[in-house]
Structure 1
Amino acid sequence: YVYFTLFIFQGVLHLSILLQRGSGLFEVLLNRTTIILSGRILISENVSQEFSKNVAVSSDLSDLSANDVYNELENRGYQYKDQFRGILNAKSGEKCCVATVQWTGNWCSYIDSLIQLVLFSDGEDSQNLYLPSEIQQIIIDPTLQSRIKG
């Protein structure tokens, strides 16, 4: 984030997205003047190489239902409803968290559910409310994603 913005919705919110097709650089502007987010979108020649298919998962993880996850997040101060409750189940441990996240065809709620998983995992020790300030990398294989049924 370039400029942290807390949105309290009481009317019309004007967001603009500027994308430079050649470089993949983008900016999200609030009211056409304030850059609140910037980054870069890359299209990989071989997206499958970006993934590690052999992710080491500890055997001492606790199984959590969707209700377990969202009750915990609610206890910390988060309020997720309806399509923004996309974590179906999770396995959580000291150093990792693995989950099944629902795909409904809505990118906004899908990416938000992925961020929720990070907030859940990172806040486990302190039980604090966190607001994400950056995303280092998200890798999406559009071919694989298009085959997933909601």
Structure 2
Amino acid sequence: GDDGNELPVGEVGEICIKGPQVMEGYWQRPQETANVMLPGGWLKTGDIGRMDERGYLFIEDRKKDMILVSGFNVYPNEIENVVVEMDGILEAAAIGQEDERCGEVVKLFVVRTDPNITEQDVIDHCRENLTGYKRPRSVEFREDLPKTNVGKILRRALRDE
């Protein structure tokens, strides 16, 4: 959990690691070190995940990309994976957009290969495959999405627009 305690099997939380290969801290940056290091040499990775009963670790998403909708944690990867299952969708990126009532709502950016796919088609697909609070409030079609030099979608760039 956020308090550094171990969670039960299957429960989602921040992944923390420890070992001789893990840094002791950032060079001459004590505040940043305090933000990522827990007592006993544990490093908070910034990744959200869960462990199954066999000890396998599954990474859900990056903590900083998590969307908080009415107090519920929403992981963009889950939404994006559902949307790209649709025929005619190349890629998708989900971000949180400020909302007075819910805190944040999901906004979706989509690159489609089929120009006939509409915003309503995407929303209907999400309605069939996602819990209510995880569904996008709006869908924006793009020619492409901003990416890092290794091809990862830059959600931060979409949030900053």
- Which bracket does the TM-score occupy, shorter chain normalised? under 0.3
Write 1 or 2 for the structure with the bigger share of strand: 2
Q: Which protein is bigger by CA-based radius of gyration?
A: 2
Instruction: Output the TM-score relative to the length of structure 2.
Output: 0.24
